[in-house]
Amino acid sequence: SDRLFGGFRKTSERLSSNLTGAVGTARLDDATLDDVEDALIVSDLGPAAASRIRGRLAEQRFGLQITPQELKEAVAEEIAAILRPVAKPIEIVAFPRPQVILVIGVNGSGKTTTIAKLAHWFQEDDYEVMLAAGDTFRAAAIGQLATWAERLDVPIVRGPEGGDPASIVFDGVKAATDRGTDALIVDTAGRLQNKRELMDELEKIRRVLGRLNPEAPHDVVLVLDATNGQNALSQIEVFQQVAGVTGLIMTKLDGTARGGVLVAAAEQYGLPIHAIGVGEKMDDLRPFDPDLVARVIA
């Protein structure tokens, strides 16, 4: 909890000071509610969540006295209510194995690091993990994933730079099936600048996977960088179209004041949030605990 709090420190400071600024006066009237709503919007919670929270506060407390502390607690409760329905860890349930987890997201979002963190997380639960270096567009991406694989002591299936990602994925599923591996985590290219190519590439991966196992991919996890604020939200939209997304992991919640974007994502898209990244190390992935996050940010 301490490390999670550390992770959200800047977000929390910003929302707290914005909210405290909103309730200088004694009673919760329309002007104060406007200020609260604005405070939530400038704290990156998005207009939809801000309006919902405003409505709930008005229902419960309109005309009543409210201290800044009570306001923060009430807001935290409403944030928790928005986050609870989307909190959903990835569970390894695929039968037959492996569970194929496709990881997508723009370059720089923390995709590779998140794959390593996920692998580490599953290892801690005694699952066998394998990685597939499906981002063949960047030589550095293959090398970086291979370095993590070595550090984690997990096998990796890789090919040459410029190779066919679908054939890497094919080899990965074959190898994981032969070894009885529980989870195959697949890195993919994050070239949103060329949407058509990316879409074709991901479709081909899906086709190949589907031929090997109609259930695969079991998860399509979109990695989002919280420091991108509202831009992270438009990435959800684009990747929904390009790839179909089954869940989110938001990274870099340490060191940003824009963590409120988690709430905006939950309110606007309702996609499962699997976990959050709060640092660069392999154990810096946290389960997404909605009540804890709500209490920490508000």
List residues forming the annotated binding site for GTP.
Answer: 105-112, 187-191, 251-254
**Residues whose CB falls within 8 Å of the CB of residue 13, separated by 6 or more in sequence, listed in order:** 257
Distance CA 62, CA 293 (A): 26
- CB-CB neighbours of 104 under 10 Å: 27
Nearer of residues 272 and 277 to ligand GDP, judged by Cβ: 277
Chain residues binding ligand GDP by CB under 6 A are 105, 107-113, 190, 251-252, 254-255, 277-280, 284
Minimum CB separation of residue 137 from ligand GDP in Å reads: 11
Nearer of residues 201 and 284 to ligand GDP, judged by Cβ: 284
Nearer of residues 99 and 256 to ligand GDP, judged by Cβ: 256
Distance CA 20, CA 217 (A): 46
Distance CA 221, CA 236 (A): 11
Nearer of residues 13 and 34 to ligand GDP, judged by Cβ: 13
Using left for φ > 0, alpha for ψ between -120 and 50, and beta otherwise, residue 128 falls in beta
Closest residue to ligand GDP in the complex (CB): 277
Minimum CB separation of residue 103 from ligand GDP in Å reads: 9
- CB-CB neighbours of 238 under 10 Å: 16
Minimum CB separation of residue 104 from ligand GDP in Å reads: 10
Q: How far is residue 276 from each of residues 34, 112, 123, 156, 253, measured CA to CA in Å?
A: 31, 14, 18, 24, 7
Minimum CB separation of residue 105 from ligand GDP in Å reads: 6
Nearer of residues 71 and 154 to ligand GDP, judged by Cβ: 154
Binding site, annotated residues: 105-112, 187-191, 251-254
Minimum CB separation of residue 221 from ligand GDP in Å reads: 12
